[in-house]
């Protein structure tokens, strides 16, 4: 395996638009805000970057750790050796067909952003993911209200408010 500095120089030279950090504190990238440093931390924004870096790592026997948005990830105090890639793809596609909607989401899309987009488009099913810090109860009451027409019995069982605010 190559040393960290050689890997950094190769990535910096061949991927000019790639965000690369050495000895990056993983506490900055996890929801638990704990953990040691990653030898090399990369923010991957395209599939091309991902495939080329994975190929390079495979050829040089470099350990790779792949993260999404860091939710519910615990990193050891000793950190992560090799390359740590945080996937940050942002593509969301909606395909509507009569009463059916298919949603294609790339890795790295924030759940709250997806829920907000779907809510604006009138697509239900992801209301639980909306996070209005001051209006949390309102969010759940809206979820219950939007599901009311489809499943009245479950809404009553949930003991949530069932009216629009």
Domain of 66, CATH number, reads 3.30.43.10
Average pLDDT of the segment spanning 89-118: 89
**91-to-55, 73, 158 alpha-carbon distances in Å:** 23, 23, 34
Structural element, H or E, at residue 54: helix 47-59
Domain membership flag for residue 17: yes
- State yes or no: pLDDT of 165 exceeds 60: no
Q: How far apart are CA 50 and CA 40, in angstroms?
A: 15
| pTM as predicted | 0.72
- State yes or no: pLDDT of 77 exceeds 90: yes
Domain membership flag for residue 34: yes
**22-to-31, 46, 71, 95 alpha-carbon distances in Å:** 20, 20, 22, 40
Judged by average pLDDT, the poorest of 4-13, 15-24, 30-39, 128-137 is 128-137
Q: How far apart are CA 100 and CA 87, in angstroms?
A: 29
More confident residue, 114 or 142: 114
Q: How far apart are CA 10 and CA 148, in angstroms?
A: 56
Number of domains within the chain:
1
Q: How far apart are CA 123 and CA 120, in angstroms?
A: 8
**Domain range holding 20?**
4-87
Those residues whose C-beta lies under 8 Å from the C-beta of residue 142, and which sit 6 or more positions away, are 127, 130, 164, 165
Average pLDDT of the segment spanning 148-163: 44
Domain membership flag for residue 56: yes
pLDDT score of 131: 61
Around Cβ 110, how many Cβ atoms within 10 Å?
14
- State yes or no: pLDDT of 164 exceeds 70: no
pLDDT score of 162: 41
- State yes or no: pLDDT of 152 exceeds 50: no
- State yes or no: pLDDT of 160 exceeds 70: no
Domain membership flag for residue 60: yes
- State yes or no: pLDDT of 156 exceeds 80: no
More confident residue, 131 or 119: 119
Domain membership flag for residue 58: yes
pLDDT score of 157: 44
Domain membership flag for residue 59: yes
**116-to-32, 41, 70, 103, 128 alpha-carbon distances in Å:** 24, 29, 20, 13, 11
More confident residue, 72 or 94: 94
Q: How far apart are CA 66 and CA 48, in angstroms?
A: 15
């Amino acid at each position: 395996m190559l040393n960290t500095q050689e890997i950094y120089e190769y990535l910096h030279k061949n991927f000019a638009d790639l965000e690369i950090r050495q000895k990056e504190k993983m506490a900055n990238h996890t929801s638990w805000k704990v953990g040691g440093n990653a030898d090399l931390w990369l923010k991957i924004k395209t599939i091309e970057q991902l495939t080329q870096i994975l190929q390079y790592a495979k050829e040089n026997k470099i350990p790779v750790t792949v993260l999404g948005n860091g939710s519910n990830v615990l990193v050891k105090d000793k950190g992560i050796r090799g390359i740590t890639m945080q996937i940050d793809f942002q593509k969301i596609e909606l395909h509507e067909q009569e009463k059916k909607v298919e949603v294609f989401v790339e890795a790295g899309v924030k759940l709250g952003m997806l829920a907000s987009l779907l809510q604006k488009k009138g697509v239900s099913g992801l209301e639980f993911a909306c996070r209005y810090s001051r209006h949390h109860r309102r969010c759940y009451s809206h979820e219950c209200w939007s599901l009311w027409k489809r499943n009245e019995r479950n809404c009553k069982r949930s003991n949530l408010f069932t009216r629009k605010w």
